[in-house]
Amino acid sequence: MSRHIPFTIPREPSIAGFVLLSYVIGIATSKNIDPIKTVSIGLIYLHLILTIDFIFYNPSPRRLKSLYSLVSNTSLFIFFSLMDGYESMVALLPTTILFVATMTSLVTLGRLNPTTLSTGTSMLTFLTLYTSASIGEYTLDSLEATILYTLYSVASVLYVESKVGRVDVYIPGAISTALFVGSFLFSPYYPFIFIDLAAKSITHVIRKEVIDVSDITSLGKKELLRILIHTPLIILASLA
């Protein structure tokens, strides 16, 4: 019977983590929060977490679970956004564009391609902006937090992929170093977000230590924990 139920725990814990942190950061950077809308968005995100695997693992319109996941999530987000107003619709646009880009990359390049991983991660982290606009009053702090959270998350995902040899070690090294150095131009607080990512990425460039692909789940959990620890830094840097 369970195989007919269109809900499942994501195979990659990071997916649930990215969505939940988008929810938390969005709440922390929003104003005039509506409790009912906050609960409603939380339930929509829970539904997304429990159905997202059916979209990104062997998606097909002929599979009822894939079709249910696509139609139900699309309907929930559009319906809530129409009910909430134009700000929610505008805030949903980046995630929508990134979803289309992710699906296109998934079909043409594959699920483990760096482009697919980057757009897929960004699609989830940009829900931060949607959270803020949907539950209360959208602020520039929300946009700032969304960008910081997205950049850190994408660079972290690419670092994990480089550790198993699926991404060139120089890619996350160059990206994280550029983020650390370039962030000085915008705020004295931003570099604290990227310093550890830059340090370990540069170390990986020097040592080039590659782990077995079977260990990627464990490494992914560690990186998700790092992102969780960095969440207060991202929030504080955005509000400063």
pTM of the shown model: 0.91
Mean pLDDT, the chain, integer: 88
Virtual torsion, Cα 125, 129, 131, 134, nearest 10 deg: -150
**pLDDT computed for residue 139 by the predictor:** 84
Q: Return the sign of the alpha-carbon dihedral for residues 168, 230, 125, 56.
A: positive
**pLDDT computed for residue 51 by the predictor:** 93
The phi, psi pair for 137, rounded to 5°, reads -105, 125
- Alpha helices of the chain — where are they, by DSSP H? 13-28, 35-51, 53-56, 64-84, 86-108, 114-125, 127-135, 140-163, 170-182, 191-207, 216-239
Reported confidence tier of residue 8, pLDDT bands at 50, 70, 90:
confident
Number of domains comprising the chain: 1
Give yes or no for residue 95 having a pLDDT over 60. yes
Residue type at position 110: G
- 63 conformational bin, left if phi > 0, alpha if psi -120 to 50, beta if neither: beta
Higher pLDDT, 196 or 58: 196
Of 15, 42, 26, residue with least CA distance to 144: 26
Give the domain range for residue 172: 2-239
**pLDDT computed for residue 1 by the predictor:** 45
**pLDDT computed for residue 13 by the predictor:** 82
